[in-house]
Structure 1
Amino acid sequence: MSISSNALPPVVDTSTWEKELAALRVREKAATRELDAIAAQRRRLPMVKMPDYVLEGEQGPVRLADIFGDHPQLIVYSHMWREGAEWQCGGCTGFTTQFTRLAGLEKFDARFVIVTQGPVDEALAYRRKVGNTMTWYSTANSTFGGDVGAPPNGGFAVNVFLRDGDTVYRTWHTDGRGTEQLSHLFGLVDLLPYGRQEEWQDSPEGWPQSPTYSRWATPQEIAAAYGEGAAR
């Protein structure tokens, strides 16, 4: 990319740079403490008892309570699905293909899985096509998706559940930009001088900016890089 002269931060001496960085760090540390406080409030939320849902997995029907495996906690990402579409939501595809090593969650007594409204065979075929390594389940024959904020032909969502024996409770939910904190991609991109380079972003005059989503990897690009036919 060609960088214009007005798309560069000002050059200063080391002492001035360290002073500016220290001032920013005060805000960064305050934000970290606020996130800690939000997490503490999240741990104190009440919860809602869920019905005994049955979903479809790679090995057939499976109760929601059994999706937890040996763990009491479960994070569920509801992947958007459009019937008959060759390529599903680019945002969902890009977001979920970031998660390739989830064994660390088991140390914290939890699993992280995907559910989608697509028929299980189609969902699993799409998973392979784009190189997604997470465990997928279908809610096509269940009201689960609609009940947790991701109805047929609806948006995406993240939900968290807690299991006590065979009883499952819903403890947390978010959608929209609430999922960004779970993505390592935007955490890294937001550290960069040019950030996400999207039109809505507050950037200095002359900084490179493009339409929202235009820099996101497409499902086709993800499939080419990680899917069944990708060069390894």
Structure 2
Amino acid sequence: MSEQITNALPPVVDRQTWQTALDDLRLREKAATRELDAIAAQRRRLPMVELPDYTLIGPDGPIRLVDVFDERSQLIVYNHMWSDGAEWQCGGCTGLTSQYVRLGFLDNYDARFVIVTNGPIEEALAYKAKVGNTMDWYSSSESPFGADVGAPPGAGFAVNVFLRDGGKVYRTWHTDGRGTEQLSYSFALIDVLPWGRQEEWQDSPEGWPKSPTYSKWLDSPDVARLYGPDGDTDARQARSAVS
């Protein structure tokens, strides 16, 4: 351990002083929770816009967007950034979506989660397997769908949410950039650590470890190494042994 990290320690106090400081922080945490509840309530009151009858490409060929719901009423789509022919796709997208491994709970909410990318379906499915993704992937390579929902070819990523009413599909919510962090459990875990994300832009006490932004994130090869079919068997076995 480096001297910098050895010295990067919070002050040591008695239990009552610690509890008082925690109680002060808890007031802000509770206020943030109530604000998030209010934001969610406003989100539930958003209007929506009807969409055209898009056709995507799935593992079995063309499929209408309304059928991607698989008879559910609600659909979350992660629009995965894509570069045709690249060995490794967007590290941020790959790292985020690698977290979504148990999605069956959405059945209780009449909802489904899928990935849609502008890449060719053959490349998309091969990449899905390579990095160990488990959710369903679709391609919008032969449709304007990606561009129409804020994730055009060769550009960014997005999260979009849709509602189905019979044969009609409506777009109800969208976010991109750091807005997608709310769908990540990794940042939630890292942010409660004493040193936090350790990124140089963050407000941390003097002497706290700092790293260039993104430098500690898993890149696409890291995800494949950890979770892909040809990944680190020893690492997976070690994780299983302690789970």
For residue 239 of structure 2, what is the aligned residue in structure 1? Answer: none
The percent identity for this pair of structures is 69
In 1, Cα distance between the equivalents of 2:77 and 2:222? 25
Deviation of the 1:3 alpha carbon = 5.2
For residue 19 of structure 1, what is the aligned residue in structure 2? Answer: 20
For residue 127 of structure 1, what is the aligned residue in structure 2? Answer: 128
For residue 176 of structure 1, what is the aligned residue in structure 2? Answer: 177
In 2, Cα distance between the equivalents of 1:221 and 1:6? 30
Local SS of the residue matching 2:173? strand
Deviation of the 1:183 alpha carbon = 0.3
The answer as to 2:169 corresponding to 1:158 is no
Q: Which deviates further from its counterpart, 2-11 or 40-49?
A: 2-11
* Pairing 1:58-97 to 2, within 5 Å after superposition: 58-97=59-98
In 1, Cα distance between the equivalents of 2:83 and 2:201? 27
In 2, Cα distance between the equivalents of 1:132 and 1:38? 30
For residue 207 of structure 2, what is the aligned residue in structure 1? Answer: 206
For residue 44 of structure 1, what is the aligned residue in structure 2? Answer: 45
For residue 137 of structure 2, what is the aligned residue in structure 1? Answer: 136
Summarize deviations over 1:186-213 as a string: whole Å, max 9, x none: 0000000100000111100010010000
- Whether the aligned pair in 1 keeps the contact of 2:100 and 2:135 (CA below 8 Å) is yes
Summarize deviations over 1:148-171 as a string: whole Å, max 9, x none: 000000100000000000100000
Local SS of the residue matching 1:208? coil
For residue 149 of structure 1, what is the aligned residue in structure 2? Answer: 150
Q: Which deviates further from its counterpart, 72-81 or 220-229?
A: 220-229
The answer as to 2:2 corresponding to 1:2 is yes
Deviation of the 1:84 alpha carbon = 1.9
In 2, Cα distance between the equivalents of 1:40 and 1:22? 27
Local SS of the residue matching 1:95? helix
Q: 1:58 to 1:3 in 2, by over 3 A?
A: farther
In structure 2, what residue type is equivalent to 1:2?
S
Cα-Cα RMSD: 0.9
Deviation of the 1:2 alpha carbon = 2.9
Which structure has the highest helix share of the two? 2
In 2, Cα distance between the equivalents of 1:110 and 1:182? 15
Summarize deviations over 1:52-74 as a string: whole Å, max 9, x none: 00000011111000111121000
- Whether the aligned pair in 1 keeps the contact of 2:85 and 2:123 (CA below 8 Å) is no
Local SS of the residue matching 1:55? strand
In 2, Cα distance between the equivalents of 1:48 and 1:169? 5
Local SS of the residue matching 1:88? coil
Structure 1 stretches lacking a partner, 5+ long: none
In structure 1, what residue type is equivalent to 2:106?
L
In 1, Cα distance between the equivalents of 2:170 and 2:11? 52
In structure 1, what residue type is equivalent to 2:219?
T
Local SS of the residue matching 1:215? coil
Local SS of the residue matching 2:84? coil
TM-score, normalising length from structure 1? Answer: 0.98
Q: Count residues with an aligned counterpart.
A: 232
In 2, Cα distance between the equivalents of 1:222 and 1:88? 11
